[in-house]
Amino acid sequence: MSTEAKPDTEAGPPNQETRLEIAELTKELRNLQGHYAMRSLQSRKRMMLAQFLRGLSFGLGSVIGATILVSVSVYLLSQIDFIPIIGDWAAQIANEISPENVRVDDASGAGSAGTAQD
């Protein structure tokens, strides 16, 4: 007779170590099912609401980020004097979007961009 250990692939009753591992895995799965992310995935309404809010946040962040990036780039380009075409063009854009050029219509009270040449 040989004293070799049996490979794990043979069918047989699970030993104590395997039972403990299964119990730990079961406990972790129960903890995971109780987690907020897993609970929200179980409800279609919650999942759709979460994805909708995520999309709104992404869109709003993209618009705000692009606005800041464009305004900083236009400002920096308007400061360039040694390239007349780019400097003049950026200065014209900066002049168009400056707060001094916003006028308020008397009838509607809504502001409109443009020069106040009445």
The residues spanned by each domain of the chain are 16-99
| Cβ atoms within 10 Å, residue 90 | 19
Please give the helix or strand (H or E) that residue 17 lies within, else none: helix 16-33
User: Where do we find the tokens 């129960």?
Assistant: 30
More confident: 116 or 51: 51
Digit-coded pLDDT (tens) for 40-80: 677 788 888 889 999 999 999 999 999 999 999 888 877 77
More confident: 34 or 71: 71
Give the pLDDT of residue 34. 73
User: Where do we find the tokens 């895995």?
Assistant: 25
Question: Given a cut of 90, is residue 98 above it in pLDDT?
Answer: no
Digit-coded pLDDT (tens) for 80-91: 766 666 677 777
Give the pLDDT of residue 11. 59
Q: What proportion of the chain, given as a percentage, has pLDDT over 70? A: 64
Predicted confidence band at 1 (pLDDT cuts at 50, 70, 90)?
Answer: very low
Between the CA of residue 71 and those of 31, 82, 93, what are the distances in Å?
48, 20, 10
pTM over 0.85: no
